[in-house]
Amino acid sequence: MGGKTTYTEDKWVGGGEDPRGDQGRLEDFYLNNGYVTARIGQPRITYTDGKSGLFKKKPVKWMKLEIPVTEGDQYRVGEIKFEGLTVLKEEFVRPLFKLKTGDVYNDSRFKKGFDKLRDIYGSIGYFQWTGGTKRKPDPELKVVDVTLSMDDDKRYYIGKIRFAGNETTRDKVIRREIYMNEGDVFNTEALKLSIRRVNQLGYFKPMEGAPDLKPSPGAEDKLDVTFKVQEQNRNQFTFGGGVSGLEGTFLNASFSTTNFLGAGETFSLSAQTGKRTKNYQLAITEPYLFDRPITAGFDLFWRKLTYLGYVNVVGYTQESKGLSLIMGFHLGKFSQIFTNYSFQVIKLGQITDLTNPIYKDPYATFGPVFDPFFFGDFG
């Protein structure tokens, strides 16, 4: 234990860990190594006077911690029985517990088996399933018979699915990420997946813990589910300006959001205008077209740039406008496939004698140029 620590009759204070936590870890250690009759006593603490310091000794109190342990004998697994199985068959459940007769008893393996069973039962509606281990050690044979006791309780169904805290986002935007429907068998795995999907939207702060689960009024076998979310800002607005050698003076502004009007759409609008440049763009993407798992969107743009020729004489202007279309389809729960099509028209204007010939005549031909970097210096 590190740090400065003190102990009183009521509580442990300071930078170290509570020795009573060590007591629990010791119990787990012995149970996981076959010592099913091991007993861990209460920690005993005594203090002695001492000195500490490299050069100047200072009086200190030294603490001595003793945890009494009675190990007992190591036990192996005897007979394994199942009690309370009414839904699943024993031949399906038994392989989940990675222990067999003759193995050194290991309580953690039984706990892992119960964890797997809890997930299985939870996925078929038995939300309040419980399980536990009953041990019967035989001191003479040094074996312990184990009874795995289970209580299936009753099967639950989904009542109402509600949402709270989504002040901007529409209910349907969240609902389409939920892998449960009202009236379905309650499924804890689908619930976990739904929470993950909602968190991946990015519209809300990550949900911590499980949603609120309450019995439906008038239906004891139904659970109403309320997903509580907290909106976070998904909007960005920028405004600026500047001067550059290529674009001259300019002003720009843009707005973008990944949750436009709470409908879950990606929307962006930008504009830039200046002495030599103009640039306008509008883009919208709908992740669920017609409330189906189809992504569709478009990107419209118009740009105009004035290029300078020689000695600040206007060379030419370039105007471009175009459209991009995107289409995507959901593949499974976490993957999508996309395809896009782009169309662009470029127009040149204000062509003069000083304009670079390549822009005046797109079919112009030129003689070969030998770059000394590749061909050597022919001078």
Kindly report, residue by residue over 27-81, the tens digit of the pLDDT. Answer: 999 999 999 999 988 888 888 877 776 666 778 778 787 888 899 999 999 999 9
Q: Copy the structure tokens of residue 355.
A: 């304009």
Instruction: Check residue 21 and give its pLDDT.
Output: 62
* Selected residue with higher pLDDT from 318 and 193: 193
Instruction: Check residue 349 and give its pLDDT.
Output: 78
Q: Copy the structure tokens of residue 88.
A: 């699943």
Q: How far apart are CA 146 and CA 130, in angstroms?
A: 17
Q: How confident is the model at residue 247 (pLDDT cuts 50, 70, 90)?
A: low
Instruction: Check residue 67 and give its pLDDT.
Output: 82
Burial 232-251 (b: 16+ CB within 10 A, else e): eebeeeeeeeeeeeebeebe
Q: How far apart are CA 296 and CA 285, in angstroms?
A: 6
Residues contacting residue 166 through CB under 8 Å, at least 6 positions apart: 174, 204, 229, 231, 262
Q: Compute the half-sphere exposure of residue 85: CA atoms within 13 Å on the CB side of its CA.
A: 14
pLDDT tens figures, 311-343:
545 567 888 999 999 999 988 777 889 999 999
State the angle between helix axes of 107-123 and 19-31 in degrees (0 to 180), rounded to the nearest 10: 90
Task: Residue 42: count other Cβ atoms within 10 Å of its Cβ.
Answer: 10
Task: Residue 66: count other Cβ atoms within 10 Å of its Cβ.
Answer: 12
Contact 339, 326 (CB under 8 A): yes
pTM of the shown model: 0.72
Among 23-37, 153-167, 279-293, 342-356, where is mean pLDDT lowest?
A: 342-356
Contact 229, 165 (CB under 8 A): yes
- Domain 76-151: CATH superfamily is membrane protein fhac (3.10.20.310)
Fold of 157-228: Ubiquitin-like (UB roll) (3.10.20)
Instruction: Check residue 352 and give its pLDDT.
Output: 64
Q: Is 14 helix (H, G, I), strand (E, B) or coil?
A: strand
Instruction: Check residue 356 and give its pLDDT.
Output: 59
Span(s) in the chain for CATH 3.10.20.310:
76-151, 157-228
Nearest to 178 by CA among 159, 151, 164, 197: 197
Cross-strand bridge partners of residue 62: 48
Output phi, psi for 35, to 5 deg.
-90, 75
For residue 299, CA distances in Å to 277, 326, 341 come to 20, 9, 10
- In one letter, which amino acid is 97? F
Output phi, psi for 358, to 5 deg.
-65, -25
Output phi, psi for 250, to 5 deg.
-155, 160
Contact 149, 131 (CB under 8 A): yes
pLDDT tens figures, 279-295:
999 999 999 998 898 99
Q: How far apart are CA 358 and CA 329, in angstroms?
A: 43
Where do we find the tokens 């006077």? 49
Strands 143-151 and 76-83: parallel
